[in-house]
Amino acid sequence: MGLPALALFSAEEYLLIESRSLERHEFYDGHIIAMAGASKAHGDIQTNITHMLTTRFRNRQRACKPYGSDTRVYVSETKYFYPDVSVFCHEPNVDLQNNWRNPEIVIEILSDSTALFDQNEKAAAYRQLQTLQELVLIDSRAKRITIYERQADGAWIERNFDAGALSVIIASEELAVAEIYRDIF
């Protein structure tokens, strides 16, 4: 006896459900995925990176601004995600359903429950966004950071950093790895 097929939803159904929900859900190819609660390490990294970027943007008088995980990013007609941090350096393009359409940088913080999906399906989907210039994956379980950078020809370069790295460049700002992981390791 086979298992029953899972119901698939349209983007319109997802957006209606999401507008009425107290919890956040992502949408991936017809599947509505509940957002898991974040660990302390995850929350600390998100706070650290948001604070670091905000401070640097203000000090350099850059128009860029990081937004937290309540910002729903429209990736395609079949994909809507809530990145841990989204950076917009131009006026955000927000539609009538509060979907943010033009992030330049997306940061996802990896945890046990999300790492594989974030590193594979979500990373591939994000890199299809025409406005995206950087995708940053920060592991909350070990000092590991992966940065994908779009090149002038549209190709992506992947850079990997481990515990030996002193700093990384995100949004053209040098950030100390020790500060990203402050109070964690």
Question: Each residue of 8-44: pLDDT tens digit?
Answer: 999 999 999 999 999 999 999 999 999 988 899 999 9
pLDDT at 2 over 70: no
Tell me whether residue 124 is in a domain.
Answer: yes
Structurally, the chain folds into a number of domains equal to 1
Tell me whether residue 46 is in a domain.
Answer: yes
Q: Residues 139-171: pLDDT tens digits?
A: 999 999 999 999 999 999 999 999 999 999 999
Q: How far is CA 140 from the centre of its chain?
A: 14
Strand partners, 157: 149
Tell me whether residue 25 is in a domain.
Answer: no
Q: Are 142 and 163 a contacting pair, CB within 8 Å?
A: yes
Bridge-based pairing state of the strands 31-34 and 25-28: antiparallel
51 vs 173: CA distance, rounded Å: 13
Tell me whether residue 151 is in a domain.
Answer: yes
Tell me whether residue 4 is in a domain.
Answer: no
pTM score: 0.94
Tell me whether residue 185 is in a domain.
Answer: no
Full domain range(s) for residue 157: 38-180
* Residue, of 153 and 4, whose pLDDT is higher: 153
pLDDT at 5 over 80: no
The model's confidence at residue 92, banded by pLDDT at 50, 70 and 90, is very high
Region 59-88 average pLDDT: 97
Retrieve residue 55's tokens: 């401070």
131 vs 153: CA distance, rounded Å: 14
98 vs 15: CA distance, rounded Å: 10
- 72: domain CATH number is 3.90.1570.10
Tell me whether residue 19 is in a domain.
Answer: no
Q: Give the total residue count for the chain.
A: 185
Q: Are 122 and 135 a contacting pair, CB within 8 Å?
A: no
pLDDT at 1 over 60: no
Retrieve residue 114's tokens: 């999300």
14 vs 80: CA distance, rounded Å: 9
Give the pLDDT score at 17: 97
Tell me whether residue 17 is in a domain.
Answer: no
% of the chain beyond a pLDDT of 70: 97
